[in-house]
């Protein structure tokens, strides 16, 4: 018989909930920042969800998670502005 355990704790050895929350805060920030330029319809909501989860899990980077939330909201504002002014969900620099 084997003495190794296949419980979830054995599979995720070394990772803590707080470390995952820190990664979520960083991912939220990056997605919100990139979402201002491309794929704001997808990256904006993802940034909002990840930022909220990071704060709920008590990240050690709450400012980064809050910035991710703000950038995710800005992504959706940019999307709404593009849809209402130009009737499209893409950038258009040609006059």
Residue 18 binned pLDDT confidence (cut-offs 50, 70, 90): confident
CB distance 77 to 71 below 8 Å: no
Whole-angstrom distance, CA of residue 1 vs CA of residue 60:
41
Residue with tokens 């009737």: 87
- Tell me the mean pLDDT in the region 77-91: 79
Model confidence pLDDT, tens digit, residues 19-34? 888 999 999 999 999 9
Can you give the pTM of this predicted structure?
0.75
**Domain ranges within the chain, ordered by starting residue:** 17-85
């Amino acid at each position: 018989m084997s003495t190794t355990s296949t419980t979830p704790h054995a599979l995720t050895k070394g990772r803590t909930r707080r470390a995952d929350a820190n990664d979520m805060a960083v991912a939220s920030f990056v997605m919100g920042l990139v979402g201002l330029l491309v794929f704001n319809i997808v990256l904006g909501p993802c940034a909002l969800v990840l930022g909220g989860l990071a704060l709920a899990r008590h990240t050690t980077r709450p400012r980064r998670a809050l910035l991710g939330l703000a950038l995710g909201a800005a992504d959706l504002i940019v999307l709404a502005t593009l849809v209402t002014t130009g009737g499209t969900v893409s950038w258009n620099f040609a006059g």
